[in-house]
């Protein structure tokens, strides 16, 4: 590939290195220059351009990304179309992401033009969740490097959850409250629910080896896929009550201890071919810990051996990660304001042409309905993220108490607007209420109910509005999630963060308004809306 400045007249067929706007023209970076483009630019006095010219043996960035993405996607993974030299890979179902680390590293070392980035190995993912992205750095890459990358084969796949039936065996001591054991069961139920698994039976037995042996016999009579063993006191040695009881029942301990904190005192065993997890005390908490690492893999039917457990030390210190709220840190002060972020940048693709935010109900644009309700609510500053038809959206909100934040990457999906909105918030904001610009029937009282649910509870870090129990919008996020929200990519929201932090999420019923967005002409007309000339592009 030849890169550099070139006379405009000699740049036909080359790819523009930087976007250019002049004389009513706007050509994007990567645009392939035509004869008419060059004539128009020359007429405007543009005599030279920085361009890239592909040579023999070069593969254009879009084709290169498409080929590598297709090769890298294993079972349970799909690819999106290439865009600006990038292909995103998504899970087609729920499960555990499995990354071939050696192949990923090999690809990234093949040639500086080729990159692939993935989520962490063995991360839980949901259908539609982005799991990897392929990016070609320059405008083209050598065919030899692309072919070598394809030859590496699949690098990411999703292992579906398979082990569904779990039996819980829990020991009792006079010092352990029944309410604590009940809570432990509920938290385990919640963990399993995300994977479509369930506790089919619980056996509570005294805290001694013989009782553990008996409880395990009862468990095995039910032919479970997994047994979880909770000790009333911590297991401090391989000869302690819980592991010793497993051995008395004819099982074996495969490994005791792990380099993950919280989670050090976990043990892994087997009984009659069924995996048994000796849960550490931290597994009584919903906060992610080492127990989750092992539980998720076993439910996804991924074999776990002692060497893999001992390799978990890098990244195994979990206690200080911001996105994992710390119960032991005490109540969180709700001192700062709650700001609102209105997402109003989308292209309204399903509307078939018009910008839906400019459509009207009772003569008022949809986006103005939303902002009017927010302005009458308890929210502080209102940030409106614009993109498509930005000037028209701003005009529709003339006189409203808002601050605009333009998203130049709005065509790349909802996550880009979310990042722009979060980045625009003031430093003292305690939480952000994320509202969609096409949901005009949410009134100020509904917004206030969502805010009140957050302000009134120090244990709540996200609030989701629901319609008849089904989650919808708006969603409120505590500041502690802002960094995570900025990391989201693609045309996706932040639902996965809710799933990963269920214990700290509150739901607020606000009725049908939480689910009624006006994405299509039919939905708009059914709601009494009108598409006017101002909505056209």
Q: What is the pLDDT of residue 328?
A: 37
Spatial distance between the Cα atoms of 44 and 449, rounded to a whole number of angstroms:
56
Strand pairing partners for 284? none
pLDDT-based confidence at residue 320 (cuts at 50, 70, 90): very low
Of the chain, the percentage scoring pLDDT greater than 70 comes to 93
What phi-psi label fits residue 348: left (phi over 0), alpha (psi between -120 and 50 degrees) or beta?
A: left
Q: How far apart (Å, rounded) are the C-alpha atoms in residues 477 and 429?
A: 11
Q: What is the pLDDT of residues 52-64, one digit of tens each?
A: 888 898 999 999 9
Angle between helices 209-220 and 241-248 (to 10 degrees): 50
Report pTM.
0.58
Other CB atoms within 10 A of residue 427 CB: 6
Q: Does residue 61 contact residue 114 with C-beta atoms inside 8 Å? A: no
pLDDT value at residue 51 = 87
Do residues 478 and 459 touch, judged by C-beta distance below 8 A?
no
- Could you state, in order of their start, the residue ranges of all structural domains in the chain? 2-53, 58-160, 165-321, 338-530
Q: What is the pLDDT of residue 490?
A: 65
| Strand (E) or helix (H) holding 463 | strand 462-467
Both tokens of 472, joined, read 């919808």
CB 332 within 8 Å of CB 456: no
As beta bridge partners, residue 159 has: 96
Say if CB 474 and CB 442 are below 8 A apart.
yes
- The topology under which CATH files domain 165-321 is Molybdenum Cofactor Biosythetic Enzyme; Chain A (3.40.980)
Taking residue 330's Cβ as centre, other Cβ atoms within 10 Å add up to 8
Report pLDDT digits (tens) over 478-536: 999 998 888 887 666 677 788 777 778 899 999 989 888 777 777 788 877 777 655 55
User: From CA 87, how far away is CA 90, in angstroms rounded?
Assistant: 10
Would you call 486 exposed, middle or buried from its count of C-beta atoms within 10 A (0-12, 13-18, 19+)? Answer: middle
Average pLDDT, the chain: 89
Please report where in the chains the tokens 């539980």 appear, as a residue.
295
Q: Do 2-53 and 338-530 show the same overall fold?
A: no
Give, as one character, the DSSP assignment of residue 251. -
Q: How confident is the model at residue 353 (pLDDT cuts 50, 70, 90)?
A: low
Question: CB-based contacts of 187: which residues, under 8 Å, 6+ apart?
Answer: 283, 284, 285, 286, 503
Report pLDDT digits (tens) over 368-403: 999 999 999 999 999 999 998 899 999 999 999 999
Say how far apart CA 95 and CA 292 lie, in whole Å: 13
Q: Are strands 140-142 and 124-125 parallel, antiparallel or unpaired?
A: unpaired
Looking at 3.30.1050.10, 3.40.50.800, 1.10.3720.10, 3.90.550.10, the CATH number of the domain 338-530 comes to 3.90.550.10
Residue 474 and residue 450 in contact, taking contact as beta carbons nearer than 8 Å: yes
What is the per-residue pLDDT for 150?
Answer: 98
Query: Which DSSP helix (H) or strand (E) runs through 70?
Result: helix 61-72
- Do residues 8 and 33 make contact, with C-beta atoms less than 8 angstroms apart? no
Distance CA 142, CA 217 (A): 62
What is the C-alpha separation between 123 and 91, in angstroms, rounded? 11
- State both tokens at 532: 């006017």
DSSP 119: P
CATH code of the region 58-160: 3.90.1170
Q: Which residues pair with 157 in a beta bridge?
A: 98
What is the tens place of the pLDDT at every residue in 9-24?
888 889 888 888 888 8
Q: For domain 2-53, give the CATH number.
A: 3.90.105.10
Task: State how far the Cα of 527 lies from the Cα of 504, in Å rounded to an integer.
Answer: 34
């Amino acid at each position: 590939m030849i890169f550099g400045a070139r006379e405009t007249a000699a740049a036909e067929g080359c790819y523009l290195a930087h976007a250019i706007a002049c004389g009513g023209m706007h050509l994007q970076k990567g645009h392939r220059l035509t004869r008419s483009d060059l004539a128009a630019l020359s007429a405007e006095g543009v005599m030279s351009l920085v361009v890239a010219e592909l040579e023999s043996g070069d593969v254009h960035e879009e084709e290169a990304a498409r080929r590598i993405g297709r090769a890298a996607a294993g079972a349970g993974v799909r690819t999106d179309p290439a865009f600006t030299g990038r292909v995103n890979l998504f899970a087609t179902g729920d499960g555990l992401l499995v990354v071939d680390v050696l192949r990923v590293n090999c690809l990234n070392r093949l040639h500086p033009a080729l990159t692939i980035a993935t989520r962490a190995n063995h991360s839980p993912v949901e259908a539609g969740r982005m799991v990897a992205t392929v990016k070609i750095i320059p405008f083209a890459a050598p065919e030899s490097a692309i072919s070598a990358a394809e030859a590496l084969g699949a690098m990411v796949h999703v292992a579906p959850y398979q082990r569904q039936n779990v039996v819980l065996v829990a020991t009792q001591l006079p010092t352990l409250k029944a309410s604590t054991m009940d809570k432990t069961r509920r938290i385990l139920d919640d963990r399993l629910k995300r994977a479509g698994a369930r506790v089919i039976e619980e056996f509570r037995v005294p805290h001694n080896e013989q009782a553990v042996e008996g409880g395990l016999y009862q468990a095995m009579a039910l032919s479970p896929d997994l047994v979880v063993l909770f000790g009333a006191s911590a297991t401090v040695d391989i000869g302690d009550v819980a592991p010793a009881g497993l051995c008395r029942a004819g099982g074996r301990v495969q490994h005791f201890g792990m380099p993950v904190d919280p989670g050090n005192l976990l043990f892994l065993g087997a009984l009659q071919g069924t995996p048994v997890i000796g849960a550490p005390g931290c597994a009584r908490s919903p906060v992610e810990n080492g127990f989750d690492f092992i539980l998720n893999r076993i439910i996804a039917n991924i074999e776990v051996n002692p060497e893999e457990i001992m390799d978990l030390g890098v990244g195994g210190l979990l206690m200080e990660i911001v996105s994992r709220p710390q119960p032991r840190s005490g109540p969180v002060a709700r001192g700062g304001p709650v700001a609102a972020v209105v997402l109003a940048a989308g292209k309204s693709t399903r509307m078939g042409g018009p910008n839906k935010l400019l459509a009207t109900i009772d003569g008022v644009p949809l986006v103005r309905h939303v902002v009017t309700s927010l302005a009458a609510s308890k929210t502080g500053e209102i940030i409106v993220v614009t993109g498509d038809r930005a000037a028209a959206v701003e005009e529709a909100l003339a006189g409203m108490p808002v601050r605009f934040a333009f998203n130049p990457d709005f065509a790349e999906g909802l996550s880009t607007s979310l990042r722009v909105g979060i980045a625009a918030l003031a430093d003292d904001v305690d939480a952000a209420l994320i509202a969609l610009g096409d949901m005009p029937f949410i009134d100020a009282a509904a917004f206030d109910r969502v805010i009140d649910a957050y302000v009134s509870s120090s244990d709540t870090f996200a609030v989701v509005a629901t319609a008849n129990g089904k989650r919808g919008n708006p969603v409120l996020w505590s500041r502690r999630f802002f960094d995570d929200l900025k990391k989201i990519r693609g045309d996706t929201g932040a639902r996965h963060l809710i799933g990963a932090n269920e214990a700290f999420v509150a739901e607020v019923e606000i009725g049908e308004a939480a689910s009624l967005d006006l994405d299509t002409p039919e939905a708009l007309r059914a709601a009494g809306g009108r598409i006017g000339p101002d909505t056209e592009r």
